Amino acid sequence: MSAVTDAKEKVKELGSQGGGKDSLAKKIFVPLAASAASAAAAYAVRKVPALVQEKVMPKLKGGRSSGAAGDVLSKAKDAVGETVSTVADRVSELRESASGSSRSPGPSLSSKELDELERRRKERAKHRAERRKALSV
């Protein structure tokens, strides 16, 4: 975000130097600052996960046997594993009990409502694809 604030400061400096240049300076530097901030954010989104995998995760895994952080991680892993297995068992039970009934478990929707849901689902998928495309460039 410092690139944006730096660009804003430059625009203010250029604006205070001359009256006619103020508008031109804003037209030039504000979009450049926005582009720079966007590029920096996209770069960070692409590079930070790899950095975490390379630098942070080995330290967490290595400290598991002797450090307090390792103890906390192993306890959290055990707790999550137990919760997931409990939830999975409960879902299996619900599926078995629901399969014996003749009625579907969800609320019935009109065709208009189903069409609206489908339209929104497609719209979300389109937006996801656009975001992925923008990040991959």
Query: Within a domain: residue 89?
Result: no
In a domain, 93, yes or no: no
Report yes or no: 60 and 70 within 8 Å, Cβ to Cβ.
yes
Kindly tell me if the per-residue pLDDT of 107 is higher than 80.
Answer: no
Residue 124 lies in a domain: no
Say if 134 falls within a structural domain: no
pLDDT confidence bin for 106, thresholds 50/70/90: low
Classify residue 99: in a domain, yes or no: no
| Residue with the two structure tokens 């055990």 | 78
Averaged pLDDT score across all residues of the chain: 75
| pTM score of the predicted model | 0.31
118 located within any domain? no
Quickly state the pLDDT bin for 42 (edges 50, 70, 90).
confident
Does pLDDT of 81 surpass 70?
Answer: no
Tokens of 87: 């939830």
Query: Which string of b and e fits 93-124 if b means at least 16 CB within 10 Å?
Result: eeeeeeeeeeeeeeeeeeeeeeeeeeeeeeee
CA distances 99 to 81, 104, 121, Å, are 27, 9, 27
Q: Is residue 3 part of a domain?
A: yes
Domain membership of residue 42 (yes or no) is yes
Distant-in-sequence, close-in-space partners of 74: CB < 8 Å, separation ≥ 6: 64
Give the range with max mean pLDDT: 77-86, 94-103, 122-131: 122-131
pLDDT of residue 119: 93
Residues 35 and 3: beta-carbon distance below 8 Å: no
For the chain, how many structural domains are there in total? 1
Q: Which domain does 34 fall in, by range?
A: 1-62
Task: Give the pLDDT mean for 87-116.
Answer: 71
Neighbours of 30 (CB within 10 A): 14
Read off the pLDDT of each residue in 84-106 and give the average, rounded to a whole number: 65
